[in-house]
Amino acid sequence: MKIIQVDDYDWYIGETLEDCVNQAMEDTGQPREEFDPRELSEFELVKLTYIDEDDPTNKKTFKEALEAAIEKGGTFPRFFASSEF
């Protein structure tokens, strides 16, 4: 599993970049041209902070949050985080 930044504000978890973009298009209704996706680097995974919206005091690295999401399971690809919330 990877974290893909699909635009300036949103991140998705999925097997591939294209899977994540397709899910983002389905979720938002925006066309492919609206996205500028890229896979996060290992440095970014440990540098970026994930804040749980249900418990803002619960902060993790993106890498820790990715590992927790994989462990929890569910359907992938899926929305992971946004800087707009």
- pLDDT number for residue 67: 97
- The Cα–Cα gap between 67 and 1 comes to 9
Task: Classify residue 2 by its DSSP letter.
Answer: E
- The Cα–Cα gap between 46 and 80 comes to 15
- Asked if pLDDT for residue 85 goes beyond 70, the answer is no
Closest CA to 30 of 19, 39, 38, 21: 21
- Decide: 21 and 35 in contact? Cβ < 8 Å: yes
- pLDDT number for residue 57: 86
pLDDT per residue over 72-82, tens digit each?
999 999 999 99
pLDDT per residue over 45-70, tens digit each?
999 999 988 888 889 999 999 999 99
Average pLDDT over residues 8-14: 97
- pLDDT number for residue 23: 98
